[in-house]
Structure 1
Amino acid sequence: MLGTRLLIENPHALPATEVLRHLDVDAELGLDDVEVIRRRSLVGRNALAGRKKLPAWAILVDQVRSAVVVLLVAAAVAGLLIGEVVEAAAVAVVLVINTIVGFATELRAVRSMEALRRLAATVADVEREDRRDELDAVELVPGDIISVEGGDHVPADARLIEASDLTVDEAALTGESEPVAKTVDAVAVDAPLAERTGMLYLGTTVRAGRGRAVVVATGTATEVGRIAEMAASTETMQAPLQAGLERLGRTLSLVVVGVAGALAGLALLRGLDLHEIIEVSIALAVAIVPEGLPAVATLTLTVGMRRMARHRALVRRLPTVETLGSTTVIASDKTGTLTANRMQVVDVALAEGADEQRLWQSAVLCNDADIAPDGDPVGDPTEVALLHAAQNAGTDWRHLRKQHPRCDEVPFDPATKRMAVVTDTHVHTKGAPEVLLDPHRHTELLSAADDMGGRALRTLVIASGPAPGHPVDDQSLLAAAEVLGVVGLADPPRPAAIEAVKACHQAGIRVVMITGDQPRTAAAVADQLGLHAQQPVTGAELDRLDDTALARVIDQTDVYARVAPEHKLRLVQALQTAGHTVAVTGDGVNDAPALRQADVGVAMGRTGTDVAREAADIVLTTDDFSTIEHAVAEGRRVFDNIRRFGQYLFSWHLAVVLVVTAAIALGADAPLAGLMILWNNIIIDVIPSFALALEPSSDDAMRHPPRPKNEPVLGAATLRRILTQGALVGSVGLTSYLLATTTMNLDLDTARTMTFVTLTTAQLLAVFNARTDTGSGFRGATANPYLWAALALTTALETIALTVPDLRNLLGLTTLGAASWTTALALATLPLLLTQSSRILRIPRTREVARQHRA
């Protein structure tokens, strides 16, 4: 029976006395200790379920679950079975290196995020057994009587039973940009969360005033707890790069099995023994499997992650770096993300003959806010904004307050919408225009106030006059003040956000604002940002739309207001269903489910809540929307570079497969030994590929639309270049081998060495073919110092392989004569010369096509 009483539906719609009766608690005495223990046994502690720390072993397992790794393990096992211990050991070394690189990088990202979490405990002011005490908020139970005042964090969901000038900042929960004035009155059952003025909610902050309330929900039963559970139950989306590499790995598995089987059949027809067949098949499998792919892909993403960190973006999941590059829609919260979540005076209209300095003097004297020496604001954001504006206008408000101490006051009341302060000689007032302006005397000021309201500004009238010499009622005191002017305040867009939205539009990325704030405010901010804001769609309107109607709305509307977490989540899902890659930004608890559902969730680290940061893939330590623009550009650079090294890497493997397969089909011995292939796979795959992965971003990275979501990592154009380059390098390698074994009559070891040199040099030079799709591959090469370092290091390692006797013998290489060197190097230059020559010949045609396109 007691457990049932602790569950209250819609406490915001019930009178406070009814809530107290339902919870069986006396507001003057509070609960006794026995009852507290009994209730805690039913509802548990007032805490949210913490996200489990990801163990190191789980991160390690993730590194070895790819198809490429499985293939390498199979090759190593097969090598051991036929006694090729050296080859098996070499493959195992590659596996270990790949795994360590991926594990170390992922572990660092995960642990960096864990270090960011704030662990500060909330303290609650509780009344129990007719005594008042401060307790850890986790000890609260439904029915506890709590007290709050300015600066306190609300420790649980509670129904107000007393409120005195109480305002609460609920931006983190509802998206409401202005503090909400609280009362003890009940509201309608269907009132949105942001309009439940008789409630306090866990995670919000009291800005000013005092209040007493009875706790109605704790832990996961609170609004914050409900949202956190919704976020935890939402499935995270797989990054396009992850999906692409997994598809590629599965395809490679089939190719390896098919080609190795075909080659084994061909070898059987030639009468080779079983041991030789297996050895050749393993060599070919090693030739196909890109051993360096996991390492280079991981390192590429790691570099992208670190570059993003320099722009104040902490990446939690590596593949997210690349996913940003394919983002087509950024769904952003308004308050604290697109705006600074800091009220500012943006307009002033003076009364006829009024002095602006006098207006600012009254604005700071009729003001309860303060600014700490370290710059932190204390009090209502609107009043803090007046202090800043007065200071910017040259008013020393601290000195002014000392000169004119407060003698009397009429506190602000949400019902009357005004306050007044009496100093030594004057009365200073501020309030709503409809309260302080006379329709007959202040027509111009009323018009100005209406204009400001049309721009979604919060308007305040400032007035001042000689104080009456004798005690008077509040109305007479207010009447003594003469109106000085109207100020308009707003939480304006960040200047950097305006430019960032423009850059996103140029890049073909749509920006959508999803906020819990009022429609008029959302529309005004959206208009300043350059979004389509003619008619914002509200959460209530979304509730009336079925999925078909919603699909039409999301194509036409960029602004959504007064939305709940469920609405944000549904909007993100609808955009994803429409084929978009969606990035969601936010800082509040109400953003968490959408952050987790998004392809990329971006949380604000400085002002963001723990719940939002836990749900996100990326945390911005600057809380600045413009950081996302840099992150998207970095994501595009990463993907372009993945394609560059993908083309380079796979063209090499194709070349080796072609040489080996063609030679065996022609009845010759394998032109390369297994260890030669594996050595070059490690050297050629990793070092030049990584240099390509470090290519700087092109100037037009943010001037073209994002790639389609389902476009593979290696698209049709890239595959054509892989086939072309692979065929060119393979052809010169095969030509070198056939010349060595026929025309030059070299022995097998020397012929293999000559083929090794030809293939290695040709592929090393082909790095310039992979740098760009069109034009000269040498253009801008000096901007990437890593490229030249990679060429030098690779050349040095290949020279060591050819000159150090022990390593040369292990790989099956030998020394070459002058004629062999000349032939090998001459053949090796052909792929580079042919590719660059064809591109130079295509340049005039490319320019003509571009000219026609512009025309």
Structure 2
Amino acid sequence: MNINYPLELPHTRTVDEVVEEIKSHPAKGLSPADAQERTKAFGRNAYESQAQKSLWMMALLQFKSPIVYLLLVAVAVTFYFQNTVEALAILAVILINAIIGFLMELQARSSMNALKEMDVTLSRVIRDGQVQEIPSEEITPGDLIFLEAGDVVPADARLVEANQLQCDESSLTGESLPTEKNTEKLPKDTTVGDQHNMLFKGTSVMNGNGKALVTGIGHDTQLGTITALVEASGEQETPLDRKIAELSKRLIWVTLLVIVLYAITGFIQGKEWVLVLETSIALAVAAFPEGLPIVSTVALAYGMLLMAKRNAIVKRLSSVETLGSTNVILTDKTGTLTENKIYVDTFSFTDTQVKVRIEDKKFKFENELSAENEEQYQKILLIGTLCNDATLYQEGEEGQSSGDPIELALLQLIAAAGKNEKEIKETYKRKAEIPFSSDTKMMGTLHHGPDGTFVAAKGSVEQLLEQCTYILQKSEIESLADNERQKILKISDELAADGLRVLAFAYRENVDDDAGDFLNSLVFAGMIGFLDPPRMDIKDAILSCRNAGIHVVMITGDHPKTALNIAVKVGLVDAGTKQVLTGTELPAPEELSDDWKRRILETSVFARTTPKQKLDIVAIFQEDGNIVAMTGDGVNDAPALKKADIGIAMGLRGTQVAKETASIVLKDDSFTSIAEAVAHGREIFQNIQKFVIFLVSCNLSEILIVTVMGFVAPASTLLPLQILFLNMVTDVFPALALGLGKGDNTVMNHPPKDPAAPIVSNKDWVAVGIYSAAMTAAVMGAMIYADYRHLLDEKAANNVAFLTLVFAQLFHVFNMASADSGIVNNEVTRNRFVWLAIVICTGIMALVFAVPSLRTVLGLYILPVRLWVIALVASALPLVVVQTYKAVSNLVQSGKE
């Protein structure tokens, strides 16, 4: 293999010169063997946009924390007083905390890496003359790539063919307008922004299509060069991270205030400064929820991985929080509310309709085709073959079918009708093309055939009729009269009302080869009604969204009657509803009155809309204070996907531009997956709220206990080492278990949460106060009662307080069940991770008491059974009190209802 790579200045060379130097073929591309050899030689088409932290750096960063610095001060103090055992013990706890943090972050990284592997970008390449889809990372120098509107360019490449090709290169050049592309060679000093014969990795195709030979991959691309020059930016803080940081700061300020007040009071009372210092350090340790940031990251990553397995790939952590707040879903029709299994249902020849079906790969008319319509039928088949960019592989053939579903349905029809697609295309050589666009809603191709030039065109009935001057009827070409146009439109409406997607077909013969716009003076040949059955399994999903306070809106470019038919069948609107707004009815944004805005907000079906109108509709819903999720699949949907609070791209039929713009990609294109993603997003955020409230209430109880004991029994107060052990054992494991739970079954029976609301609301703070007060009362009550009955010394009192708090916090995890869930059977008791966490924590406690050296380090010793009984009974009291309160509240609430 002797190729010139990386190819320098490919824009200065002709297509033939590039083909010679890159050792490829301008029509057939590489052979699979050549591609494999080049991949081994030049590597994969990938680069790290941001290098991950090394394991060593990740380990060192576990020690970058205010609490660690504080503990190191405590170590220095204990060494100063020659208490070597305690100093070494605190160092050991610092190390153990770091190990746990490291393992959790490593798990989070593994989950995120697995998530990225699920989101594979595919590109179309031509190898040995066959179009096939492969992962973009497998593209190699010399590959011939095929691109059309909606694709993201996977590598730098020299164009060999361009049909009205336009690319958005703003990400590379900053130029906002699309760049027109051609194949002509350019001068050496042409800047990147003016290299119109080149395609660049990371840019997107906005219009047309083309073929290009890959000249640069990975780091050898323009984007790769820029990436290598830019220093890796820091990790972006999500809204959830900010909320957790704000919560932590609030806890620290509260603790500092308590420490200052305690220190001042202690010195006034004449307490030893060493005791005051130790208690103050204990208060500081108790305040900071060390595991909070790590547990939240693991919970999000794990939840996102589960969502990916349920067909929703979430690309941004912050999207999970936004999902829980979504109250409007703007959804496409085709493939999302329908099965996207399109097939030909009806031929319409103006004066008659013929139902068709395909059985055993054979084409059958359900009612007889008249001889008068034979020529129209043959013309439609010819147009459907020529005006078609899809690739169809039959069973037994190597390769994967690709292309627009309607075009694939046409090819299946043509094959079933006994026609040879390849022979037809060989006979009618394509010379030019006007690609389909969402503005024109038409596609046309110019061919050289046996009888001269031939134009094939297909598109929406309304748009294509405007370009038609003649009509083919009964084997005769006649002028298309206005009454005939109205008749065609009426038939189209009737077919659409039956739920069919209608496409018109037209042609023209003997056109001037040099005609730039050949889509005029066309001959109308007829229409085909395509059936895309509604997904009947999504009715429950739509009902679930309604119950959850989510307004589901259909926005489609399809016919209004087709859209309404599908909307009724899937339960989006009630039967008998006729309210549909079309794009032609919608006024411009600057002309929108309040009445129009209210009408738009109350509408559930929009039809014949343009991409610009989709963007305007998103903006109107957002201005009304809604959190909007928007689905899309095309390049023209990208602005609306970006504008929406949550952009959801279709994974099966979606363009790469849509997928890269969106924050969520659906692997199955189904609305059911959207509803499940919203529900799971709510579950994840609900889990985050639970473990945050759990950690905060546990830490606040520790603050209260240390403060109260500092005044009541300063010699028995909890030691910093004991509190660190508590935070490590009874905080992190149960909190992590709560973060990995499935959530309660009523999550979609409540309205969306306010995205501006903090993680811990005022109502939650009241609950946190009650939880903390209950655990504090239990600990102090156990210690006082044990001292009253058994005259405890200082160490025994400390041990009783410690044991009571350990098990009170473990039992407290069951208080995190939803208020309206059952006491015994709820999302917490059903969470296997919770029971595993309790077993682990209990096992660690048993190990501590079984190993004398560990007991000594933590200041513990073997207590009499009666003191264990007092501690265990007292530790269960907060759970009993809270659950009793919830049960009574539920009874009162049900009585009111």
Normalised to the residue count of structure 1, the TM-score between the two structures is 0.68
Residue 280 of structure 1 and its aligned partner are, at CA, apart by 0.8
Q: How does 1:26-105 map to 2 (within 5 A)?
A: 53-57=49-53, 70-83=65-78, 85=87, 86-102=89-105, 104-105=107-108
Name the CA distance, whole Å, in 2 between partners of 1:410 and 1:668: 95
The answer as to 2:855 corresponding to 1:808 is yes
Name the CA distance, whole Å, in 2 between partners of 1:593 and 1:264: 58
Q: Which residue of 1 aligns with 2:283?
A: 284
Residue 669 of structure 1 and its aligned partner are, at CA, apart by 2.4
Q: Which residue of 2 aligns with 1:385?
A: 409
Greater Cα offset, 444-453 or 806-815: 444-453
CA contact (8 A) 1:237 1:599 kept: no
Q: Which residue of 2 aligns with 1:260?
A: 259
Q: Which residue of 2 aligns with 1:818?
A: 865
Equivalent pairs: percent with the same residue? 28
Name the CA distance, whole Å, in 1 between partners of 2:425 and 2:614: 47
Other structure's SS at 2:329 match: strand
Seen in structure 2, the aligned counterparts of structure 1 residues 319 and 778 have a Cα distance that, compared at 3 Å, is farther
Other structure's SS at 1:602 match: strand
Per-residue CA deviations over 1:609-664 (Å, capped at 9, x if unaligned) read 44444444333333444322211111111122222223332222222222221122
Q: Which residue of 2 aligns with 1:458?
A: 502
Q: What's the C-alpha RMSD, in Å, of the aligned pairs?
A: 6.1
Seen in structure 2, the aligned counterparts of structure 1 residues 627 and 538 have a Cα distance that, compared at 3 Å, is farther
Name the CA distance, whole Å, in 2 between partners of 1:576 and 1:51: 37
Name the CA distance, whole Å, in 2 between partners of 1:645 and 1:152: 42
Q: Which residue of 2 aligns with 1:764?
A: 810
Per-residue CA deviations over 1:364-390 (Å, capped at 9, x if unaligned) read 466346621268557886553234457
Seen in structure 2, the aligned counterparts of structure 1 residues 637 and 822 have a Cα distance that, compared at 3 Å, is same
CA contact (8 A) 1:76 1:92 kept: no
The residue type equivalent to 2:891 in the other structure is P
Name the CA distance, whole Å, in 1 between partners of 2:55 and 2:694: 29
Other structure's SS at 2:588 match: helix
Seen in structure 2, the aligned counterparts of structure 1 residues 151 and 614 have a Cα distance that, compared at 3 Å, is closer
Other structure's SS at 1:829 match: helix
Name the CA distance, whole Å, in 2 between partners of 1:702 and 1:614: 29
Residue 687 of structure 1 and its aligned partner are, at CA, apart by 1.9
Q: Aligned residues, how many? A: 731
Residue 304 of structure 1 and its aligned partner are, at CA, apart by 0.8
Seen in structure 2, the aligned counterparts of structure 1 residues 420 and 657 have a Cα distance that, compared at 3 Å, is closer
Q: How does 1:660-675 map to 2 (within 5 A)?
A: 660-666=706-712, 668-675=714-721
Q: Which residue of 2 aligns with 1:323?
A: 322
Name the CA distance, whole Å, in 2 between partners of 1:822 and 1:605: 58
Q: Which residue of 2 aligns with 1:844?
A: 891
Q: Which residue of 2 aligns with 1:784?
A: 831
Name the CA distance, whole Å, in 2 between partners of 1:300 and 1:55: 23
Q: Which residue of 2 aligns with 1:468?
A: none
Which of 599, 608, 611 does residue 563 from structure 1 map onto?
611
Name the CA distance, whole Å, in 1 between partners of 2:565 and 2:140: 37
The residue type equivalent to 1:54 in the other structure is Q
The residue type equivalent to 1:282 in the other structure is I
Per-residue CA deviations over 1:403-447 (Å, capped at 9, x if unaligned) read 998999899999999999999xxxxx9987872358799998774
Seen in structure 2, the aligned counterparts of structure 1 residues 643 and 492 have a Cα distance that, compared at 3 Å, is same
The residue type equivalent to 1:458 in the other structure is V
Q: Which residue of 2 aligns with 1:245?
A: 244
Q: Which residue of 1 aligns with 2:472?
A: 436
CA contact (8 A) 2:149 2:206 kept: yes
Residue 761 of structure 1 and its aligned partner are, at CA, apart by 2.1
Per-residue CA deviations over 1:47-95 (Å, capped at 9, x if unaligned) read xxx99712223999999999x9744234223323423633254235324
Name the CA distance, whole Å, in 1 between partners of 2:425 and 2:734: 74
Name the CA distance, whole Å, in 1 between partners of 2:771 and 2:873: 17
CA contact (8 A) 2:659 2:665 kept: yes
Other structure's SS at 1:487 match: strand
Residue 253 of structure 1 and its aligned partner are, at CA, apart by 2.0
Name the CA distance, whole Å, in 1 between partners of 2:422 and 2:655: 41
Name the CA distance, whole Å, in 1 between partners of 2:57 and 2:643: 24
Other structure's SS at 1:702 match: helix
Which of 731, 754, 768 does residue 685 from structure 1 map onto?
731
Which runs of 5 or more structure 1 residues have no equivalent in the other structure? 1-24, 32-49, 125-135, 140-145, 174-181, 185-198, 213-223, 225-234, 424-428, 464-471, 475-482
CA contact (8 A) 1:332 1:584 kept: yes
The residue type equivalent to 2:280 in the other structure is S
Q: Which residue of 1 aligns with 2:293?
A: 294
The residue type equivalent to 1:729 in the other structure is M
Other structure's SS at 2:715 match: coil
Other structure's SS at 1:272 match: coil
Seen in structure 2, the aligned counterparts of structure 1 residues 347 and 268 have a Cα distance that, compared at 3 Å, is farther
CA contact (8 A) 1:148 1:154 kept: no
Other structure's SS at 2:246 match: helix
Greater Cα offset, 838-847 or 522-531: 522-531
Residue 810 of structure 1 and its aligned partner are, at CA, apart by 0.9
CA contact (8 A) 2:541 2:672 kept: yes
Residue 738 of structure 1 and its aligned partner are, at CA, apart by 2.2
Q: Which residue of 1 aligns with 2:393?
A: 372
CA contact (8 A) 2:804 2:871 kept: yes
Residue 775 of structure 1 and its aligned partner are, at CA, apart by 5.4
Which of 524, 529, 532 does residue 488 from structure 1 map onto?
529
Q: Which residue of 1 aligns with 2:547?
A: 506
Which runs of 5 or more structure 2 residues have no equivalent in the other structure? 1-11, 19-45, 79-85, 128-138, 171-179, 183-196, 213-222, 224-233, 357-364, 435-441, 451-455, 459-463, 474-479, 512-523, 574-578
Q: Which residue of 2 aligns with 1:656?
A: 702
Name the CA distance, whole Å, in 1 between partners of 2:865 and 2:712: 28
The answer as to 2:492 corresponding to 1:449 is yes
Other structure's SS at 1:330 match: strand
The residue type equivalent to 2:551 in the other structure is R
Seen in structure 2, the aligned counterparts of structure 1 residues 821 and 450 have a Cα distance that, compared at 3 Å, is closer
CA contact (8 A) 2:125 2:145 kept: no
Which of 837, 842, 848 does residue 795 from structure 1 map onto?
842
The residue type equivalent to 1:833 in the other structure is V
Normalised to the residue count of structure 2, the TM-score between the two structures is 0.65
Q: How does 1:225-244 map to 2 (within 5 A)?
A: 239-244=238-243
Which of 581, 591, 599 does residue 534 from structure 1 map onto?
581
CA contact (8 A) 1:504 1:629 kept: yes
Seen in structure 2, the aligned counterparts of structure 1 residues 570 and 96 have a Cα distance that, compared at 3 Å, is farther
Greater Cα offset, 639-648 or 593-602: 593-602
Which of 680, 684, 690 does residue 644 from structure 1 map onto?
690
Residue 785 of structure 1 and its aligned partner are, at CA, apart by 2.5
Seen in structure 2, the aligned counterparts of structure 1 residues 62 and 522 have a Cα distance that, compared at 3 Å, is farther
The residue type equivalent to 1:814 in the other structure is Y
The residue type equivalent to 2:872 in the other structure is L
Per-residue CA deviations over 1:557-581 (Å, capped at 9, x if unaligned) read 66493234xx777765665565433
CA contact (8 A) 1:583 1:601 kept: yes
Which of 752, 755, 762 does residue 709 from structure 1 map onto?
755
Per-residue CA deviations over 1:743-782 (Å, capped at 9, x if unaligned) read 4212222221112222222232232222232454212466
Q: Which residue of 1 aligns with 2:310?
A: 311
The residue type equivalent to 2:545 in the other structure is C
Name the CA distance, whole Å, in 2 between partners of 1:204 and 1:699: 44
CA contact (8 A) 1:592 1:611 kept: yes
Seen in structure 2, the aligned counterparts of structure 1 residues 534 and 682 have a Cα distance that, compared at 3 Å, is same
Name the CA distance, whole Å, in 2 between partners of 1:296 and 1:703: 27
Name the CA distance, whole Å, in 2 between partners of 1:592 and 1:445: 34
Other structure's SS at 2:819 match: coil
Other structure's SS at 2:262 match: helix
